[in-house]
Amino acid sequence: MPKAIVTLLSDFGMQDTFVGQIKAVILSACPDASLVDLTHSIPPQSILTGAIHLRAAWQWFPAGTIHVAVVDPGVGTSRRAIGIRSRDHVFLGPDNGLFGGILGDDPPEQAVQLIHSPSGEPGVSRTFHGRDVFARAAGRLASGSSLDDVGSALDPGDVLKLRIPEPEVSETLISGEVLVVDHYGNAVTNIPASALGDRSHQWSVSCGRFSVDRLSSTYADVEEGAPLAAISSMDTVELGVRDGSAAVRYDLSQGMEVHLQRNNDRDHDHVPTQSGEG
Say if CB 121 and CB 115 are below 8 A apart: no
Say if CB 166 and CB 209 are below 8 A apart: no
Say if CB 258 and CB 175 are below 8 A apart: yes
Contacts of 160 (CB under 8 A, 6+ apart): 95, 96, 97, 100
Q: Report the pLDDT value the prediction gives residue 102, as an integer from 0 to 100.
A: 94
- Evaluated on CA atoms 36, 41, 47, 53, the torsion sign reads negative
DSSP state for residue 142 in the 8-state scheme: H
Q: Report the pLDDT value the prediction gives residue 188, as an integer from 0 to 100.
A: 97
Distance CA 10, CA 66 (A): 14
Q: Report the pLDDT value the prediction gives residue 124, as an integer from 0 to 100.
A: 87
- What pTM, to 2 d.p., does this model score? 0.88
Domains and CATH numbers, the chain: 5-158 (3.40.50.10790), 168-262 (2.40.30.90)
Say if CB 92 and CB 110 are below 8 A apart: no
Cα separations in angstroms, 267 against 95, 214, 229, 258? 48, 10, 16, 22
Please check the confidence at residue 95 and state whether its pLDDT lies above 80. Answer: yes
Element counts in the chain: helices (H) and strands (E): 7, 15
Nearest to 97 by CA among 34, 32, 165, 41: 165
pLDDT tier at 275, thresholds 50, 70, 90: very low
**218-266 residue pLDDT tens:** 999 999 999 999 999 999 999 999 999 999 999 999 999 999 999 875 4
**153-207 residue pLDDT tens:** 999 999 999 999 999 999 899 999 999 999 999 999 999 999 998 765 689 999 9
Distance CA 165, CA 147 (A): 31
